[in-house]
Structure 1
Amino acid sequence: MTSDVTRPRKLRAVAIVGSLRTDSYNQLLLDNVIRLSPDELDIYQFPRFAEIPLFNEDQARLGPPEAVAELQAAVRAADAIVIATPEYNYGVPGVLKNALDWISMPPGNSGLEGKPIALMGASPSILGTARAQSQLRQSFVATDSHVVNSPEVFVTRAHTRFEDGVLTDSGSTKLIGRLLDNLVQLIRTVEPADVRLTEQVAAR
C-alpha cells in the first residue's frame, strides 16, 4: 500500500572563508561547521576564492572574470551563505570585502537581496572577530540581505581551540549548532511560498 509523505526539500549553502592563509583558523572553523551541519542543510565551500581579482567596476560592467562569474552563480543558486572571517586591523579582511563587492553586482539584482547569511569567525585574540563581523553586518544592510542575528559565534584564542583539526571547545560547537539551526529556520521563513512547498514522496 502506498501513502503520500511530505518532507522539506534539502537546503544548500555556499561557504566563504575570508582568508587565503594555508593554516587559517577560519578554514578549520568552516571544516568543523560543515561537519556539524544539520542533515537538512548541505554546506559546500566555493573552491576558487583565491582566484578572485581586485574589484573593478568597469570590468564588472563589461562582464565579470570567470572565477567571479562562478561565485556570483553559486550565490544566486544557494539558499544561504556561510562566512567564516578573520579580523585584520580591527576590520574585514580585504580579500573578503573584495569578493563581496563583486558578488553585490549588479546593485539591486545581485542575488544577495533577501539572502540569509550566517557569520562566524576565529581569532587568536580575546575579542574574536567581533569588529569584523559588525562591519559585515553593516555591508549586508546595503545589499538587503538577512543576517542571522543570534547567536554570535566568536571563537577566541583560536590557537588553543583546535586539536588535529577538530574544534574542541564545547561552548563554540553548541553556538555553531544553534546558529545553523537558526539559519535553516530563517531560510524557511524567507523563501517564496512556491519553493516552500514540500516534495511529495511515495512511501510503502
Structure 2
Amino acid sequence: MSEQTTRVAVLLGSLRADSVNRRLAELVAERAPEGVEVVIAEGLGDVPFYNEDVDAAGAPAAAQALRDLVARADRVLAVTPEYNGTMPAVLNNAIDWLSRPYGQGALTGKPFAAVGVTPTPYGGQWAHDHARRSATIAGAVVPEEIAFSQTSIDVDVLTDEQVVARLLGAVEALVAAQPATAAA
C-alpha cells in the first residue's frame, strides 16, 4: 500500500451506545491496517428523515456534517445489524442524504461495503444486501466479493480471532477496491 492514508467512513446501523456493531466498528478503527484511518460517523440519530424540501432550503447541520465526512472519505463501510429483515431506518436515511444531489452525492464513485452481526439465522445478510443495493443506486461502487456476517450468538465476536480476521479481511478488501472514475 502506498504511503497515502486511505480514509474509511463508517455508517453505523445501530444507535445503541453499547451495540455489538458499534463495538465492532470501534475494533476496526483500533485495528485498522497500516495506512488506513477509520472514522465513525457519529450523530446519525440526529439526522432528520430525508425531505427534498428541507434539503432544497439548506441541509440541516447534522445532515451536512454527514455529507462532509463521507465526502472526505475514500471508502464507506456500513456496520449494521438487521431489523425486521432489512437495514435499520437510520442507515437507510443516511444513504438517502448521501445520495443527493443525485449523481453528485457524497457516495458517488466510492467503494462501499456492508458488514455486521446479528443473532438471526441469516446474520444480517438481508440488511447488508439492502444497504449495498441502496448504495449502488446512490452511485457507490459495491464490490460483490466483500461480505462479512456473523450468525452465531455462541461466539464472542469481539474476541474470537477468526471472526475478527474475517472482519478485518473485509475492510482490507474494501480498501483495495477501486473507486469509479468519471468518463473522460
Q: Answer yes or no: is the 8 Å Cα contact 2:12–2:22 preserved in 1.
A: yes
Partner residue, 2:42 = 47
Unaligned 5+ segments in structure 1 are: 1-6, 193-204
Report how far residue 159 of structure 1 moved.
6.9
Q: Give TM-score scaled by structure 1 length.
A: 0.82
Amino acid at match of 1:91: T
Amino acid at match of 2:133: Q
CA contact (8 A) 1:80 1:116 kept: yes
Cα pair distance change 1:157/1:64, threshold 3 Å? same
* Structure 1 position 133, deviation (Å): 0.6
Aligned counterparts of 1:140 and 1:37: Cα–Cα separation in 2? 23
Q: What CA distance in whole angstroms lies between the structure 1 residues aligned with 2:27 and 2:154?
A: 15
Q: Which amino acid aligns with 2:90?
A: V
1:173 to 2:164 alignment: yes
Larger-Rg structure: 1
CA distance in 2, matches of 1:67, 1:139: 21
Cα deviation digits, residues 28-82 of structure 1 (max 9, x gap): 1111111221011100112222211111110011111001001101111110111
Counterpart of 2:24 in 1: which secondary structure? Answer: helix
Change (3 A) 1:136 1:89: same
TM-score where L is the length of structure 2: 0.90
**1:153 aligned to 128, 148, 152, which one?**
148
Which has the higher relative contact order, 1 or 2, with Cα contacts under 8 A spaced 6 or more apart?
Answer: 1
User: Which runs of structure 1 show a deviation greater than 4 angstroms over 4 or more consecutive aligned residues?
Assistant: none
**CA separation of 1:158 and 1:44: change in aligned 2, threshold 3 A:** farther
User: What is aligned with 2:131?
Assistant: 136
1:24-35 aligned within 5 A: 24-35=19-30
Distance in 2 between the 1:148 and 1:141 partners?
A: 10
Aligned equivalents of 2:142, 2:35: Cα separation in 1: 19
Alpha-carbon shift at residue 191 of structure 1 (Å): 7.0
Structure with bigger strand share is 1
**Percent same amino acid at aligned positions?**
31
Change in CA separation of 1:92 and 1:148 when aligned onto 2, cut-off 3 Å:
same
Aligned residue pairs total 181
Q: Does 1:109 align with 2:104?
A: yes
Q: Secondary structure at the match of 1:146?
A: coil
Of 155, 174, 177, 1:183 maps to 174
Q: Determine the C-alpha separation between the residues in 2 that align with 1:117 and 1:96.
A: 13
Give the aligned CA root-mean-square deviation in angstroms.
Answer: 1.9
